[in-house]
Structure formats: structure tokens, C-alpha cells
Amino acid sequence: MAGQFVTEVNDAEFEKQVLQSETPVLVDFWAAWCGPCRALAPVVDAVAEEYNGQLKVMKMDVDRNNMTPGRYGIRGIPALLIFKGGKVAEQIVGFVPKDTIDQSLKRVLVQETAQVRA
């Protein structure tokens, strides 16, 4: 259920792929049985394509991976967590329009640009 610019991540690879990433990472916590998750999938795919090169976009199936969702207190899905420098920078829970995701990403990416210039 991942688009061209979206990668699946699991508990075993989470630290390497997300926490140690040089670039910010948007992780979509989802499950196949979750209607709002399926509705959000094309939005996440569009975000991944639009921000390609500035942001990694990954999906984690909460049914197959329970360590990482538990670690970050994921109780409702879909849940989008934006990681920067190994820490959660933004969190969005539930189905939201792309504009809401864009606003969160802009906050994180603007901070990223400001740090590079400093």
C-alpha cells in the first residue's frame, strides 16, 4: 500500500531508517483494515512526491509492528509522525486534508533550512 516515493519500514529498521536519517522523515502509522488509513494513503503518496528530496516518507503497518507504535504512544490510526534529528517534531492523528500535513511539514522544513543557513 505504498506509492512510488513511499517506503515501508518495520520495527527492526526503524532506528536506522528514521531516527538516524539525515533528512526529516514522515512516518504514516496505518493498518489494512483501517478505512481512514486507506483514505489518507493517496494524500500521503502526494506529499511524498511533492517533497521528494527534502523529506523521506515511510509507512509502518501497526499490525505487523507493535514495538515502535507502542514506543511512540500510537493509540489511534492513521497517525503521522514527523521525525527530525531522531525526535518527533510534529504529530497528526486521524484523517486530515493535505493542507494540514503541508503546514506541519513547512514548520519542520523551515526549521531545517534555518539551521542549514546558521
Residues 16-67 pLDDT 10s = 999 999 999 999 999 999 999 999 999 999 999 999 999 999 999 999 999 9
Active site residue 34: yes
Quick one: pLDDT at residue 110?
85
Cα dihedral: 24, 47, 107, 32 (round 10)? -70
Q: Which of 34, 82, 89, 92 is an active site residue?
A: 34
pTM exceeding 0.85: yes
Query: Residue 118 above 80 pLDDT?
Result: no
Q: Over the chain, what is the mean pLDDT?
A: 93
| 101, 80 Cβ separation under 8 angstroms | yes
**Cβ contacts of 14 within 8 Å, gap of 6 or more:** 60, 65, 68
Cell matching residue 60 = 509502518
**Cβ contacts of 73 within 8 Å, gap of 6 or more:** none
Q: Which of 25, 37, 74, 82 is an active site residue?
A: 37
Active site residue 27: no
